[in-house]
Amino acid sequence: MIPRPADLARLKSALKRSPVTALLGPRQSGKTTLARLLAGQGKAAYFDLESRQDASRLQNPELALAAMKGLVVLDEIQAVPELFKTLRVLADRPGLKTRFLILGSASPTLIKSVSQSLAGRVEFVELSGFTLMETGAGTLEKRWLRGGFPRSFLARSLSDSMAWREGFIRTFLERDIPQLGITIPSPALRRFWTMLAHCHAQAWNASEIAASLGLTNKTTRAYLDILTGTYMTRQLQPWHENLKKRQVKAPKIYLRDCGVLHSLLGLSDMQSLLGHPKAGASWEGFALEEVLCLLNPSQAYFWATHNQAELDLFIISGGKRFGFEFKISEAPRITPSMRIALNDLGLDHLWIVYPGSQKFPVHEKITAVPLTQINSIRNHISK
């Protein structure tokens, strides 16, 4: 097992602050393992709500849970949405000696009961798959090719990893989506998901995708929101300022796990990945997720204008503005687009994240940094 001390520390801090903590993220990302590890460190009760036996223990949930002390873990809570109202009642009781940890594979926007019933009582902690910081710098190619899902990354062979990812995609479409009460034929959603893989790291174009699949714009939007709400895709929103230049207003779409992306594109090894037209886009998505997991900004954006100037990632931290470009080149250089972003956005610093091994300045405000050394970025921003 690969240790995840930073995620465990975030979870412990949230549990101290809030009566209810929601650990959210895609299925098979390690939420249950992390929760069981935490539960094993003290007095705790654990309920797997997809288990009939555990669900039967909560036939009268308010009575059963009110008598408990310490930590109570409710795994896959979206399977029993009526529990959210019970947790609201319990969380409001004075002198509460219980902390509730709920685990789910869908975001609050998809399960409206979370935000409606637990507003002001819940703190959200998001867990992705393994990051490169957790697996180690020496695993760069393996982590990029296989993705971050623990069973995919830790598989004994590349073929085993591919088989696991294909099984994950099929199970997600045929079982997980219907369990959320969403009635979409799995072949239709898979075709849409595959189309998104070919549009990875591009601005959302509903009309083009709808025309390709023979669907309406409204339907493709609904499909995208479902995949986003289940942590399969990321919609990176554009940054807008009162600038004279015409700016791109559609979000950029990323598949959050690069291993799933490669499976949908049929890329089975590094040779096929590096020779594919989407190799640069794959690197961009991989590096973007690593930076977001590291920095955990409250808001993140991209910036682009219709005259081709763009910035892959833009964040504001401590009142300062920072930008990121993700380049697959082993010798990244400053580009006209970077100069425009520096000036138009007033960036305090811009990093070019690339797959090399040496960190070096390319401008007084631009630094090329290997993905394996991005921890230095956090140190810079926190000063």
The pLDDT, as a whole number, for residue 115 is: 61
Position 10 scores a pLDDT of: 94
pLDDT at 244: 59
Domain(s) of CATH 3.40.50.300: residues in the chain:
5-126
Q: 3-state SS string over the chain?
A: CCCCHHHHHHHHHHHHHCCEEEEECCCCCCHHHHHHHHHCCCCEEEEECCCHHHHHCCCCHHHHHHCCCEEEEEECHHHCCCHHHHHHHHHCCCCCCEEEEEEECCCCCCCHHHHHHCCCCEEEEECCCCCHHHHCHHHHHHHHHHCCCHHHHCCCCHHHHHHHHHHHHHHHHHHHHHHCCCCCCHHHHHHHHHHHHHCCCEECCHHHHHHHHCCCHHHHHHHHHHHHHCCCEEEEEECCCCCCCCECCCCEEEECCHHHHHHHHCCCCHHHHHCCCCHHHHHHHHHHHHHHHHHCCCCCEEEEECCCCEEEEEEEECCEEEEEEECCCCCCCCCHHHHHHHHHHCCCEEEEEECCCCCEEEECCEEEEEHHHCHHHHHHHCC
Query: 71-100 pLDDT, tens per residue?
Result: 999 998 877 888 888 898 888 888 778 899
What's residue 30's pLDDT?
Answer: 94
CATH topology of domain 132-381: Arc Repressor Mutant, subunit A (1.10.10)
Is 239 in contact with 301 (CB distance < 8 Å)?
A: yes
Domain at 5-126: CATH code: 3.40.50.300
**CA 56, 58, 61: angle at the middle one, nearest 5?**
155
Q: Give the pLDDT score at 221.
A: 94
What's the pTM value of the predicted model, to 2 decimals? 0.93
Which residues in the chain are classed under CATH 1.10.10.10? 132-381
State the pLDDT at residue 241.
73
pLDDT digits (tens, 9 = 90+) for 109-168: 766 666 667 777 889 999 999 999 999 999 999 999 999 999 999 999 999 999 999 999
pLDDT confidence of residue 179: 82
Task: Confirm if 233 and 209 have CB atoms less than 8 A apart.
Answer: no
Q: Are 95 and 19 in contact (CB under 8 A)?
A: no
pLDDT for the residue 183 = 87
**What pLDDT shows up at residue 110?**
66
Contact of 74 with 101, CB cutoff 8 Å? yes
Starting at the edge strand found earlier in the chain, the sheet holding 310-317 runs 202-203, 252-255, 233-238, 301-304, 310-317, 320-326, 349-354, 366-370, 360-363
The arrangement of strands across the sheet holding 70-75 comes to: 44-48, 70-75, 98-104, 20-24, 122-126
At 136 the pLDDT is 95
Residue-wise pLDDT for 325-347, tens only, equals 999 998 999 999 999 999 999 99
Q: Which amino acid is at 90?
A: L
| Low-confidence spans in the chain with pLDDT less than 50 | none
